[in-house]
Amino acid sequence: MTRNYLTSILMSIAALACGAPDSTESQALETSQTVSQALIASGDLRASVDLQDAASRALGADAALNAAGQRMASASCVQIELLGTRLSLDFGTGCTLHGTTYSGQVVVQASASSSNLGFDLTLTSFSNSQATYDGTGSFDAGPGQTATALSLLVTEAGQSRHVDYVGNSGSDPQGQQYTGSGSIDEGGAVSSFDAQGLHHSPGDCYPDAGTLVLSTVGTPDITVTFSATTPITGEVSLQVGRLPAQTYVLPGYGQCP
């Protein structure tokens, strides 16, 4: 993976953050996404540099980056710094884009290894006029799976909550599988969940496999087990604490049972 390619991805992110993309910028973003998928699927990013270079030339990446730079330059209220594979967007105390006022700072650090493409995200007093976010996130994509980790302090309407999540997702011919755990701390009231082997097929209303454990301080754990018939019937196995498991029908939504 060459530094130029990582830089082109970061430039595309910055361009989208600073203005609605024109066709050339959209082309650059599509190039990044398509090539990323191809490289990850190959299982060897370094061996696929030729593919990356060819795709970039074919779609006119140089012109796309020039257009992205012009777009970013016009967004004078955003301080943009691109050093190697590190992108910093500083919105200061207030910068209005697309009708929304943002403030604070966003930093994205890109990295690549022989088989993985990663991004580390840092938010510092980042606000979208509705909520303020402080914390970090990491996203690491490799052959067949993506690892995600988040630790955020979210402040909204004078109330703060700390959100943590660590998990992995992967795909198979039938759909997506998720395993992970997280928690929400609202002033000492902590709720958490642990998902193991949750599998969801496209178009289904509910997962068709896996378990989900919901925990709240001072109350028994709730364990929900999904089965192959859950997407059709909405039925799951529900166990509260040490009580015997019972069949429970999930609340319907939209066109789902």
User: Which has the higher per-residue pLDDT, 245 or 115?
Assistant: 245
Split at pLDDT 50, 70, 90, the class of 45 is: very low
Selection from 117, 87, 119, 91 nearest residue 105 by Cα: 91
Evaluate the CA torsion angle 147, 151, 157, 159 in order and state its sign: positive
- Judged against a pLDDT cut of 60, whether residue 51 lies above it is answered with no
Q: What is the DSSP string of 162-206?
A: EEEEEEEEEEETTEEEEEEEEEEEETTEEEEEEEEEEEE-TT-SS
What is the C-alpha to C-alpha distance for residues 87 and 79, in angstroms, rounded to an integer? 11
What is the C-alpha to C-alpha distance for residues 194 and 182, in angstroms, rounded to an integer? 7
- Judged against a pLDDT cut of 90, whether residue 40 lies above it is answered with no
Evaluate the CA torsion angle 40, 46, 47, 50 in order and state its sign: positive
What is the C-alpha to C-alpha distance for residues 141 and 29, in angstroms, rounded to an integer? 17
Tokens of 24: 């050339």
What is the C-alpha to C-alpha distance for residues 195 and 193, in angstroms, rounded to an integer? 7
Split at pLDDT 50, 70, 90, the class of 189 is: confident
**Which range (33-37, 136-140, 142-146) has the least confidence?**
33-37
- Judged against a pLDDT cut of 50, whether residue 54 lies above it is answered with no
